[in-house]
Structure 1
């Protein structure tokens, strides 16, 4: 029976409401880059690494940014993203970088929404193993459960936003979300689409952006295991050829995606870096880095944990709606989420379509109501105007933009850096920095100084981290007493190094609400004669 005009109009109104609601979520995600974020601490050293790659060539490089790093070749496995970030910065400065971050985050939400829409859309069944879908509310095939898709998108965007910024992983996550949408589309269409084969070249691109490329073959591995289960346990004799076709298809997609993950000039170093992070990095294991802790820490994390718990309950209630491959994929995502908070984004990409299917029975008629659609349209316009008005003006310097939220919010020691550049003579050309500011100081002062440390934890020995951030007060004092540098730029509050430096004779010469500058004690003539060239600490860093 053909659709009536009333049915068609109903579907159109619901689709418009869905677009407005998802658009509002996407605008909020993109607006975070403009309204709330400063620049990510790591983006600055990524820009400096890109400069060195252009000078030294694509491949392992010896660090020139930190004087305390291991002076051995290391692998900048995000080289393609770093070169892209530098190109963006060179073309339009930090304003274009902010716009790019907002665009990528906006697109990330849209990609998740697309996956949810395709997961719940009713397409003509091709085989017995087609996953069950939500009941139709408009009476025609191909119509998704709009409200369920929007809610799944919004909740998963919420837990992802803290981990999105202007750095390589954000671009990688967008491509992973696109790959997931292609996988979901293929599954909903009886695993017969051609577009899903694009996942292999997507993996080849992502592997040059971030380690997360490995998740694409992992997803296909989970689907392959599920297809094998269906072949061995579920399929009867008549369905066996179709089940075998699914096994072969998943195997080929997984193999090609795995090959794509090898398409990088940094492969040996990339593998070594992955193993280091998971088994040998004391800063990761010690839980000092916020995103390397379980995601449920803090108030925001607890709210996110409640959302995830409710979503998982909804999925478990309707677990029969998921095929074995999806169930295994979900189990992998949950396991990752319990390890590190930064995997919340990967969980969101994997779980959002399953959540949409699990709550697919929600009625869509709310989205079809004219007052609701008008309200969403008005809020969407207001949000866009607010974001546009807060976008940095052409005459706003970076130093003002990154500290616009005041000294109590995350920011950078711009004034302290200016003081040191103006009033301190670079003799050793060394500058003591702390963890979250090292990258910024490398970018701001790298032509005059090498900093003590930055966020590249793999470039420093376990002994270094155990003597600084993971040590007790006495061990830290003994270690920092050996450091020779021209100045130290430290947080005005909650500094890990200030007490040890003051106890070693360093003196405060400048301070504002955000940062403080310390200078070393003047050495006596005997100390000057006794000090070996290059300082006293090289052996510990090697």
Structure 2
């Protein structure tokens, strides 16, 4: 008789079903938390222009190759290297407005939680795995915004877990992973991290085999060589990789963009505590992880401390990679010990009612999504400048606009050419961003005056805390509009 009863040893299917239900519950909890704070997913100003670019690609059926969204760099080479993510965001927006965007982002992040808990529960007790997954999800919460990088989160978990598993089992890397990398290359520029992760997994293999299996090593080398080749299967070919390196080596805009800033413990207290706890645990437990995985840990920590936007590399991937060592060296925490134990009442229920539970979860998610659409959400005016733009339209403000960086996305979305916006990975270089930053310094008034004349600025849309506001007053510009989020200045002509 199939199922769990009395002291009978649970079947493999029962164990898998219990794991699946636990992982599904982790995904549901994650989705519920995200929907409860839906507007937080729309807090990034770049969400606006990513959606607009996707909508334009859907309308024109072409991929952009030059800038058409700013007037300062109009016609300069620019590629939508994250085109597939932008198209997905645009489809979600056209289907359900901002609610559709939130639902799509929530689904992807919930999938990431499911996959993370699934890989962790392969080695750790399910309750420990989902608890750890939810803690990790909380730690990387700052990156949960409706932007292209969220589509790569499930991919990077599967990629990392699959390659390190192949190394641990002393097997060749699965070729289907190359298709995953190709998808990644069309979703976001971080696909080059895939090369690095593959290299660390290869080092882990070398540590285990000590070069005793040349044929297997050759397969790993061939896989590594194929990685950049399959990454070229995108509309822009080598240009997508080159665009990535312009940021990786630190262009002039990087120091001024918040997400590219180094880790600051005073601003990320929760993450600091987690780092301290993690390293305290590693020191007192004397966990043996091998030099290859130790290097991987150091690498992900370095990237995170250098640029806070990459916090997920450390908090998401390191636990997935080290779970096997924790389980082997601390059997009390292992999934193997849990699987050998008698199932408690809840776990027996999960196993016996697996199909009904999964169906119930599916129905619950559909109903929750339907209910969510009845409560419209929208980005804050901190990025939308909704009322300010309405004023500008009503009063027919025209001419070249000088805008604060955080309003660049909404301007693109509304068809207004920008002075500067969030595409600084490829544009606004050669001293432009540095000069724009200097206009807000204490001695920036003459620089600002020169910029206003050089670009024949007709009006300015600034955030309420823009440091250049006093300069506009001193230069004799008229404050035409102001609210808690935005200020508009026009020339006194």
Normalised by the length of structure 2, the TM-score is 0.81
1:453 to 385, 406, 420: 420
- Contact 2:42–2:102 (8 Å) recurs in 1: no
- Contact 2:19–2:121 (8 Å) recurs in 1: no
C-alpha distance 296-474 of structure 1, shift in aligned 2 (>3 A): closer
2:224 alignment partner in structure 1: 254
In 2, distance between residues paired with 1:411 and 1:73? 26
C-alpha distance 200-313 of structure 1, shift in aligned 2 (>3 A): farther
1:224 alignment partner in structure 2: 202
Secondary structure of 1:66's aligned partner: coil
1:329 to partner: Cα distance: 2.3
2:146 alignment partner in structure 1: 166
1:304 is aligned to 2:276:
no
Secondary structure of 1:509's aligned partner: strand
Secondary structure of 1:518's aligned partner: strand
Gaps of 5+ in 1: 121-143, 523-542
1:114 to partner: Cα distance: 1.9
- Contact 1:152–1:356 (8 Å) recurs in 2: no
Secondary structure of 2:461's aligned partner: strand
1:74 alignment partner in structure 2: 78
1:150 is aligned to 2:130:
yes
1:200 to 160, 173, 178: 178
In 1, distance between residues paired with 2:59 and 2:20? 51
Secondary structure of 1:453's aligned partner: coil
Show CA shifts across 1:312-345 (max 9, x none).
Answer: 4434556664344333322221221121111111
2:257 to 289, 298, 305: 289
C-alpha distance 19-48 of structure 1, shift in aligned 2 (>3 A): closer
In 1, distance between residues paired with 2:264 and 2:370? 34
C-alpha distance 28-351 of structure 1, shift in aligned 2 (>3 A): farther
1:103 to partner: Cα distance: 0.4
- Contact 2:404–2:420 (8 Å) recurs in 1: yes
- Contact 1:117–1:149 (8 Å) recurs in 2: yes
Secondary structure of 1:468's aligned partner: helix
C-alpha distance 368-501 of structure 1, shift in aligned 2 (>3 A): farther
Count of aligned residue pairs for this structure pair: 463
1:53 to partner: Cα distance: 4.1
- Contact 1:29–1:161 (8 Å) recurs in 2: no
- Contact 1:34–1:390 (8 Å) recurs in 2: no
Normalised by the length of structure 1, the TM-score is 0.75
In 2, distance between residues paired with 1:60 and 1:419? 31
1:370 to partner: Cα distance: 6.4
Secondary structure of 2:141's aligned partner: helix
Show CA shifts across 1:56-100 (max 9, x none).
Answer: 765552212111226311222112222222222223322211110
1:514 alignment partner in structure 2: 485
1:295 to partner: Cα distance: 3.2
Map 1:127-138 → 2, pairs under 5 A = none
1:176 is aligned to 2:177:
no
In 2, distance between residues paired with 1:368 and 1:17? 14
Map 1:113-132 → 2, pairs under 5 A = 113-118=117-122, 120=123
